[in-house]
Amino acid sequence: MHLDLPKPQKDSLIYQDGKLYVCLATFPITKGHTVIVWKKHIPDLHLLSKKDYEYLMDKVDEVRNGLINALGVNKIYLIYMDETKHVHWHLIPRYNKKGYDIFKNNPAELKNFKIAAEIRKNLKGLK
């Protein structure tokens, strides 16, 4: 059984197409923490077709580059976690903490979505 993923808040949405959507995380670990969610229910990454996997990873790459440009960071952690039994990636900008220390942050619910517009402007490949 999988958990239903919440629909992204309109203001948090950065990009979407027929296969996936990109939005700010509801409880971000760091500023700009973004989630890329496969729209069709697929319980695990290995169950995507090769074509869909490559499509998803191309989008992950494009969003990562957009985050680097928008936020002025050098590193974005790419984290695949399947706790919801639904394919999605977390892209977490690294600021002053490294490695597992980033998970020591206490996420609070995101209420200001201004950064979504800045990230959208920096997504060169996604329009």
CATH number at residue 69: 3.30.428.10
Whether residue 20 is predicted with pLDDT greater than 90 in this model: the reply is yes
| Residue indicated by tokens 């999988």 | 2
In a domain, 17, yes or no: yes
Cβ–Cβ < 8 Å for 109, 25: no
Read off the pLDDT of residues 23-81 as tens digits, 9 standing for 90 and up. 999 999 999 999 999 999 999 999 999 999 999 999 999 999 999 999 999 999 999 98
In a domain, 4, yes or no: no
In a domain, 2, yes or no: no
Show the domain range for 95: 10-121
Whether residue 17 is predicted with pLDDT greater than 90 in this model: the reply is yes
Domains held by the chain: number: 1
In a domain, 1, yes or no: no
Whether residue 1 is predicted with pLDDT greater than 50 in this model: the reply is no
Count other Cβ atoms within 10 Å, centred on residue 127: 6
| 20-24/13-16 β-pairing | antiparallel
Q: What is the mean pLDDT of residues 100-115?
A: 83
In a domain, 127, yes or no: no
In a domain, 86, yes or no: yes
| Residue indicated by tokens 């996997």 | 53
Would you place residue 126 in the very low, low, confident or very high pLDDT band (cuts 50, 70, 90)? Answer: low
In a domain, 42, yes or no: yes
C-alpha angle 18-20-90 in degrees, rounded to nearest 5: 175
Cβ–Cβ < 8 Å for 8, 62: no
% of the chain residues with pLDDT over 70: 90
In a domain, 49, yes or no: yes
Higher pLDDT, 39 or 101: 39
% of the chain residues with pLDDT over 90: 64
